[in-house]
Amino acid sequence: MNLRLRFKTYLFIPFKYKIHYMEITQKNLNRFLFFKLPSAWWCGVRVKKITQSICEVTVTHKWINQNPFRSMYFAVQAMAAELSTGALVMKGIKESEEKISMLVAQNKASFSKKATGKITFSCNDDKKILEAIKNTIATGEGQTFWLESQGVNGSGVVVSNFEFEWTIKLKK
């Protein structure tokens, strides 16, 4: 009976990690990954730092996320890069206290070196996010903006660069 109660409680945990309810912190975003984006979590994508102005996401090259050429598969890098930009957008929306939807419209990527070891993706384009949120609240119209995330290996060498076009609009 006791085991059954624990299991039922466990099933309701994901509800707490809906973006409308949770505080945007490193710990909560990593839990959010586990429950809502399990493929990213199992591949090793983790938020390491999030502040008002920067988000850093790391992923380590492992067997589960490698390509046939013994480096990190590009889609795993894309998941980490998108999270570094998307977490800042989520944080900006949460702090605006408005109901705003967000969506990636398109992305661009360039790869300059094999991604092996620990790769850190960082985005610090918070000013673009805050301006777009302010404009969409003021005008009621959707806004689009590009955010950049750069992937750097443990030696400080840039291995990939991603750009994401985000669209936001007020929910009705």
Q: Where are the domains of the chain?
A: 2-170
Q: What CA–CA distance (Å, rounded) separates 140 from 66?
A: 43
CA dist 131 and 139 (Å) reads 12
**What's the chain's average pLDDT?**
89
Note the pLDDT of residue 144: 97
Q: In what order do the strands lie in the sheet with 55-60?
A: 46-50, 55-60, 118-123, 143-152, 158-170, 100-111
**What is the chain's Cα-based Rg?**
17
pLDDT at 143 over 50: yes
pLDDT band at residue 29 using 50, 70 and 90 as cut-offs: very high
Question: Exposed/middle/buried for 141, CB within 10 Å: 0-12, 13-18, 19+?
Answer: exposed
Q: Calculate what percentage of the chain has a pLDDT beyond 70.
A: 88
pLDDT interval class at 22 (50, 70, 90) = confident
Mean pLDDT of all residues in 25-47: 93
Tell me what the mean pLDDT of segment 48-75 comes to.
95
> What are 126-142's pLDDT values in tens digits?
999 999 999 999 999 99
pLDDT tens, position by position, 106-116: 999 999 999 99
Residue 18: what pLDDT? Answer: 54
pLDDT category, 23, cuts 50, 70, 90? confident
Q: Taking the domain 2-170, which CATH number applies? A: 3.10.129.10
Report d(CA 109, CA 160) in Å as an integer.
7
- Tell me the C-alpha to C-alpha distance, in Å, between residue 94 and each of 19, 25, 130, 149: 8, 11, 11, 21
pTM of the model: 0.85
Burial class (CB in 10 A: 0-12, 13-18, 19+), 3: exposed
